[in-house]
Structure 1
Amino acid sequence: MTPMLTTLVAFLGACTLVAASPGPSTVLIIRQSLHSRRSGFLTVLGNETGVFVWGVVAAFGLTALLTASEPAYDVMRVVGAVVLVGFGVQTLRAARRTRKEPEDEAAPDGVRSGWASYRAGLLLNLANPKAAVFALSFLPQFVPDGAPHLPAMVGLAALWAVYEVGYYGLYVWFVGRMKSLLSRAGVRRRLEQVSGGVLLLLGVRMALDG
């Protein structure tokens, strides 16, 4: 196996471990997928746009400015916490509305606009300063020796984003396959309550994580 192929395999393996780690993006993608596959997949595309943006920012060395400035990092951390809490509250409100629906009434596909779903994934990722710091520490480890740093980093960021589209797409597909069960108002309400509570707690944790 050539050094380039070895590096690529190691990188994709690391990407799998990163994607498999539970986090706000995973919770939001599953939550959006409860409404429709379209909503879930567009949320994935928004999230991975954010991943690519942070990768490019790290490639140009701009993330280092964020980590070097404590006030700038704190501002982003507070903004990220507000975004997470906002998503959590929104999800809990949706769970309350679901309680008023007939038990056999399913959530109709296409209720949410494509832009709203894409924007939700993008906003959640871009509002998380930890995603920026992680990209800065993660990508350089896989730049091959002697390779031009900027093109290699941008290429790895693109590969990372595309790979995660496929990975999280499996989540969307699985939720879609379980639609007959998950579309029941009672089940959907419980899942909304759990995902809303998790997003709310993650937001509070980010706010307190100085």
Structure 2
Amino acid sequence: MLAMLLSFTLAAVFLIVLPGPDTLVVVRGLVRGGRAGGIRTSAGVLCGLLVWVAAAVLGLSALVQASEIGYEVLKIAGGCYLVWVGVQSLRALRRTAAELTAATGPALGRSGGFGAGFLTDILNPKIGVLFVTLLPGFVPAGYPVAWTTLGLGLLYVALSALYCAVLVLAAGRIAGWMQRPRVRRRIDAVTGLVLVGFGVRLAVEA
């Protein structure tokens, strides 16, 4: 069991730290809402992961994987959402310095941070497929599949929470610098383009 936990933890850490939509939306939340915005976006990401963990335990993720139409619909919806979020970041490039400053702060974090993080995860069927294929593969023989899968899923969420905390704490030291209009435009440009790329790839990838 200990060897299984160690191997699963290593695999989970590798998957979590790979740059992806979750990291980008958290960075976007930090830029737009400061540390509070990053925390709210991270909370949304983690809640989305918890939904997929529950779905994996209940077998709903397997249904998504087995249903070609359902998977395609969710994949396209998730891709479109990521493209929309990316476009919103790119549109910020046209704002003046005063408009950028006005669009930054706790109000934005409350209104969009949590929802952006949650929808980024919940509309990505690949996360559900990842859980339904990854988690059961680490269940040792003789252990209850449902409860062990739940435990591994919660461990994955806990590691993701730790990663998000590192992002928020690291960014908190340079939050003022990140929210300068010139720096924010550059971050918006990079995150916007990458999110659009992720969205298009998610929507069209077989």
TM-score, structure 2 as length reference: 0.91
Q: Indicate whether 1:137 and 2:140 are aligned.
A: no
* CA-CA distance at 1:111 after TM superposition: 3.1
1:55–1:139 CA contact under 8 A, matched in 2: no
Partner residue of 2:36 out of 11, 35, 38: 38
In the TM superposition, what whole-angstrom CA distance separates every residue of 1:26-84 from its partner, at most 9, and x where no partner exists? 11111111131111112111111111211221122222221112111111111111111
In the TM superposition, what whole-angstrom CA distance separates every residue of 1:4-37 from its partner, at most 9, and x where no partner exists? 2222222221111011111111111111111311
Unpaired stretches in structure 1, ≥5 consecutive residues: none
TM-score, structure 1 as length reference: 0.90
Corresponding residue number in structure 2 for 1:19:
16
Alpha-carbon separation, structure 1, partners of 2:109 and 2:99? 25
* CA-CA distance at 1:145 after TM superposition: 2.2
Q: What is the count of residue pairs matched by the alignment? A: 205
The Cα RMSD (Å) is: 2.0
SS of the aligned residue for 2:141 comes to: coil
Corresponding residue number in structure 1 for 2:78:
80
Q: Indicate whether 1:63 and 2:61 are aligned.
A: yes
Corresponding residue number in structure 1 for 2:112:
116
User: Greater shift after overlay, 100-109 or 181-190?
Assistant: 100-109
Alpha-carbon separation, structure 2, partners of 1:73 and 1:102? 43
Look up the equivalent residue of 2:45 and give its one-letter code.
N
Corresponding residue number in structure 2 for 1:156:
152
SS of the aligned residue for 1:54 comes to: helix
Corresponding residue number in structure 1 for 2:88:
90
Alpha-carbon separation, structure 2, partners of 1:156 and 1:41? 24
In the TM superposition, what whole-angstrom CA distance separates every residue of 1:85-114 from its partner, at most 9, and x where no partner exists? 1111111122322xx115995975313243
Dislocated runs of 4+, deviation >6 Å: none
Unpaired stretches in structure 2, ≥5 consecutive residues: none
Identity %: 37
